[in-house]
Amino acid sequence: MRDTFAETVSAALDTDPRLAVVLADISADRFARAAQRHPDRVINLGIREQLLIGAAGGLALAGMRPVAHTFAPFLIERPFEQVKLDLGHQGVGAVLVSIGASYDGAHYGRTHMAPGDVALLDTLPDWTVHVPGHATEVERLLRDALAGEGNVYVRLTERGNAAARPVGAGLVTVRAGSRRSAGVVVAVGPMLDRVLAATEDLDVTVAYTATVRPFDREGLNRLVAQAGHADVLVVEPYLAGTSAHEVAEALGDRRHRQRSLGVRRDTEVRGYGTPADHDRAHGLDTEGIAKAARDFFLV
Q: Provide the binding-site residues for other proteins, judged by CB under 8 A.
A: 17, 20, 22, 40-41, 43, 45-46, 48, 50-51, 53-64, 66, 81-82, 85-86, 89-91
List CB contacts of 218: < 8 A, sequence separation 6 or more.
170, 250
**Cβ nearer to other proteins, comparing 47 with 299:** 47
Whether the bond between 214 and the residue before it is cis, its omega within 30 degrees of 0, is yes
**Cβ nearer to other proteins, comparing 92 with 247:** 92
Rounded to a whole number of angstroms, the minimum distance from the CB of residue 56 to other proteins is: 6
Rounded to a whole number of angstroms, the minimum distance from the CB of residue 20 to other proteins is: 6
Rounded to a whole number of angstroms, the minimum distance from the CB of residue 130 to other proteins is: 23
**Cβ nearer to other proteins, comparing 46 with 166:** 46
**Cβ nearer to other proteins, comparing 22 with 198:** 22
Rounded to a whole number of angstroms, the minimum distance from the CB of residue 37 to other proteins is: 13
**Cβ nearer to other proteins, comparing 83 with 251:** 83
Note whether 249 and 217 are within 8 A (CB): yes
Rounded to a whole number of angstroms, the minimum distance from the CB of residue 187 to other proteins is: 37
**Cβ nearer to other proteins, comparing 32 with 47:** 47
Rounded to a whole number of angstroms, the minimum distance from the CB of residue 124 to other proteins is: 14
Rounded to a whole number of angstroms, the minimum distance from the CB of residue 141 to other proteins is: 24
> In angstroms, how far is the first alpha carbon of the chain from the final one?
37
**Cβ nearer to other proteins, comparing 63 with 162:** 63
